Amino acid sequence: MKTKITLLTALGTAAVLQPALSQKGQARPNIIYIMSDDHAYQAISAYGHQIGRMAPTPGIDRIAANGMRFNRCLVTNSISGPCRAVVLTGKYSHLNGFAKNEGQAPFDGSQQTFPKLLQEAGYSTAIIGKWHLGSDPTGFDHWEVLPGQGHYYNPDFINKNGRHTENGYVTELITDKSLKWISEVKSSGKPFMLMMHHKAPHREWQPGPRELTLYKNMKFPEPATLFDDYSGRGRAAHEQDMTISKTMRLEEDLKLYKDKGKMKTTGLNRMDAAQAEDWNKTYDPIIRAFYEAGLTGDELVRYKYQRYMQDYLACISAVDKSVGQLLDYLKANGLDKNTIVIYASDQGFYLGEHGWFDKRFMFEESYRTPLLIQWPGVVKGGSVNSDIVSNLDFAETILDMAGVKIPADMQGRSMVPVLMGKTPKDWRKEHYYHYYEYPAVHSVKRHYGISTERYKLMHFYYDIDEWELYDLKTDPMEMKNLYGDPAYAAIRGDLHERLEKLRVQFRDTDESLKSFLPAAK
């Protein structure tokens, strides 16, 4: 068995499968990687959470029904740009050079990426939608991306010919552009790989024309920790700036504008007359009712949470329609049998847990991202997997699916055996995390750590030098830091040893960081 696993690792599982696939008359698979921005796994109905059930995602759920749902996909650095760089390179932030969104040099597009390797192997490649890496995309035959965060309404796009504005809602435009590109390359005889990257549901959560009124009268359940006081945690939880109560803005985030002239700060002034009319029909009554109510204290927090959920989940509904439209297109054009479809987010997101929105922390809601993969003829429909996988594995997995050799310097591992229901015995039992962006928006302290199936150890070491330890079995909401508990002394010691081994394995040592980050305070 050990020899077989070594062979599969060296050659690539899908590469070993290629002769068998060829005998069945199957060509190399097309691959579509769909990534949304800030899509919490709690908000996908296939994951079974109450929020997801109340705001269902039937399009995305089709991928789970026809493929595999991953319950423990963890990111290496929970923030948008760095997550994208990890997906492209299969390397941690300290090696791919893109560790932060702010104060960061553009992504080095000259380095090795999986799209470049697919290009070299004969694939047509494209990226359409959000890029968020500063530099122009490389490794793509076609690219059309949003500048920066992009806008929801009448957004600008950038391609090799420059910048232009298009009329419409960004989720629908990205979908249309993606289907158009597939229609142009599907008859070329070459397999294709498309990265369809949605802006939604990124802050400030602006619903599209078809979803404006979708949830306006829906009341969503409050998370049990909405009014968390962080009494069981250290300074990092106390000193963050990402609460619904204080950080979430009434106007920019919740669209409760007293002065419509301020709408330009979030791009709502980009709407044409018809779009603005529909928007105002929906939001003007909401605005009037809110200011007449004069809410304060906990009632104001509860109101803000509901408005947040109504807009956030409406944005997701548009993404879900996009996924359904794509799957319908593949079937109608005979592409469904030989096209792999992957759905993921760049990381998780807080839906009021701990009173928060946003991400960044190594706590579960932002550390864990949704991942669903369908691969007709290979992955059993309705499969569920709870192994620890990571966005660090995406590049290796896509290369393996295509039968392309995985470079030895990539740091993740192909998930193809896992997808086939044959998880190798030596699959990872722990995962390494490192977050860098501080001081910056939301004020989450820099930290690194290790997570196992049950335990999580974090070190907020640059700024405050505090350790935190959580037992996910006895404390799934991560409310009590057990680092100083004598009952966990042996567990703490084991996690420290394993954490240091991971830092060495991934070459993320104190010495390597001296030239990469500001000196520790």
**Domain spans of the chain?**
2-206+309-423, 432-513
Among 11, 4, 5, 19, smallest CA distance to 396 is for: 11
Calculate the dihedral angle through the C-alpha atoms of 135, 139, 143, 147, rounding to the nearest 10 degrees.
-10
Positions of E strands within 147-215: 156-159, 162-165, 192-197
Radius of gyration of the chain (CA): 23
Q: How far is 295 from 310, CA to CA, in rounded Å?
A: 18
Q: What is the structure's pLDDT at 265?
A: 87
| pLDDT means over runs of 10, the chain (521 residues) | 37 49 63 98 98 97 98 98 98 96 94 98 98 97 97 98 98 98 96 98 98 96 98 97 98 93 89 97 97 98 98 98 98 98 98 98 98 98 98 98 98 98 98 96 97 98 93 98 98 98 92 51 38
Please give the model's pTM, rounded to 2 decimal places: 0.94
Architecture of domain 432-513: 2-Layer Sandwich (3.30)
State residue 259's pLDDT score: 87
Question: How far apart, in whole angstroms, are the C-alpha atoms of residue 294 and residue 298?
Answer: 12
Residue of 147, 154, 161 lying closest to 208 (CA atoms): 154
Structure-token match 């935190």, residue found? 468
Q: Which of 4, 6, 28, 32 is nearest to 15 (CA)?
A: 28
Give rounded-to-5 percent helix, strand, coil for the chain: 40, 15, 45
Sign (positive/negative) of CA torsion 121, 126, 132, 137?
A: positive
Map residue 189 onto helix, strand or coil.
Answer: coil
Report the pLDDT value the prediction gives residue 512, as an integer from 0 to 100. Answer: 57
CATH code for residues 2-206+309-423: 3.40.720.10
| β strands within 26-149, DSSP E | 30-36, 68-74, 124-130, 142-146
Q: CB neighbours (10 Å) of residue 365?
A: 24
What pLDDT is recorded for position 510? 73
519 Cβ partners below 8 Å, 6+ apart? none
Phi-psi region for residue 374, left (φ > 0), alpha (ψ -120 to 50) or beta?
A: beta
The DSSP letter of residue 481 is: -
- d(Cα 453, Cα 466) in Å, to the nearest integer? 22
pLDDT on residue 19: 38
What distance in Å separates the CA atoms of residue 175 and residue 171, rounded to the nearest whole number? Answer: 6
